[in-house]
């Protein structure tokens, strides 16, 4: 489920990136020395944030005792994108929302399939 959430978030995130085409903040200020290799893709939404929250959302649902840790790690990944100056705050916020939507979609679909299979076995 986590892999499917990751895949869905990557596809949807890339689709939104190519529709919005937002330039990264580091591109607007030439004097910025990045700590990482300059990303070549667009900025909105943050792909790292989207992916981390998509996976964290699924894991938090099924491993409730570690939900705080999963979501905290996703938050730290998101913050790193701001710290590294490769995303605007709204890129990260959109990534959080999109990632959680992707995890919600995957959880919903799997719950429907599981419920359907459970009911089919009970009627035989």
- Domain range for residue 92? 2-26+40-116
When pLDDT is cut at 50, 70 and 90, the band that residue 7 belongs to is very high
Residue 43's pLDDT is what? 87
Q: What is the CATH number of the domain that holds 12?
A: 1.20.144.10
Is residue 122 included in any domain, yes or no? no
Is residue 124 included in any domain, yes or no? no
Is residue 48 included in any domain, yes or no? yes
Is residue 87 included in any domain, yes or no? yes
Nearest to 46 by CA among 77, 67, 68, 3: 77
Is residue 121 included in any domain, yes or no? no
pLDDT in tens, 81-111: 998 888 999 999 999 999 999 999 999 999 9
Q: What is the 3-state secondary structure (H, E, C) of the chain?
A: CHHHHHHHHHHHHHHHHHHHCCCCHHHHCCCCCCCCCCCCCCCCCCHHHHHHHHHHHHHHHHCHHHHHHHHHHHHHHHHHHHHCCCCCHHHHHHHHHHHHHHHHHHHHHHHHHHHHHHHHHHCC
Q: Per the structure block, which two tokens stand in for 89? A: 């705050």
Nearest to 60 by CA among 72, 48, 42, 47: 72
Residue 65's pLDDT is what? 98
Question: How many domains, in total, are found in the chain?
Answer: 1
**pLDDT > 70? residue 24:** yes
When pLDDT is cut at 50, 70 and 90, the band that residue 78 belongs to is very high
Is residue 65 included in any domain, yes or no? yes
**pLDDT > 80? residue 70:** yes
Q: What is the 3-state secondary structure (H, E, C) of 57-73?
A: HHHHHHCHHHHHHHHHH
Between residues 105 and 36, the one the model is more confident about? 105
When pLDDT is cut at 50, 70 and 90, the band that residue 27 belongs to is confident
* Contact by Cβ (8 Å): 8, 54: yes
């Amino acid at each position: 489920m986590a892999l499917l959430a990751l895949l869905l978030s990557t596809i949807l995130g890339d689709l939104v990136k190519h529709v919005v085409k937002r330039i990264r903040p580091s591109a607007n200020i030439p004097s910025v020395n990045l700590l990482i290799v300059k990303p070549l893709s667009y900025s909105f939404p943050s792909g790292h944030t989207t992916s981390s929250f998509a996976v964290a959302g699924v894991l938090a649902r099924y491993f409730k005792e570690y939900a705080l840790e999963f979501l905290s790690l996703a938050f730290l990944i998101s913050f790193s994108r701001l710290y590294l100056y490769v995303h605007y705050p709204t890129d990260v916020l959109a990534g959080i929302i999109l990632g959680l939507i992707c995890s919600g979609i995957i959880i919903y679909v799997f719950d429907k399939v599981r419920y359907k299979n459970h009911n089919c076995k009970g009627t035989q």
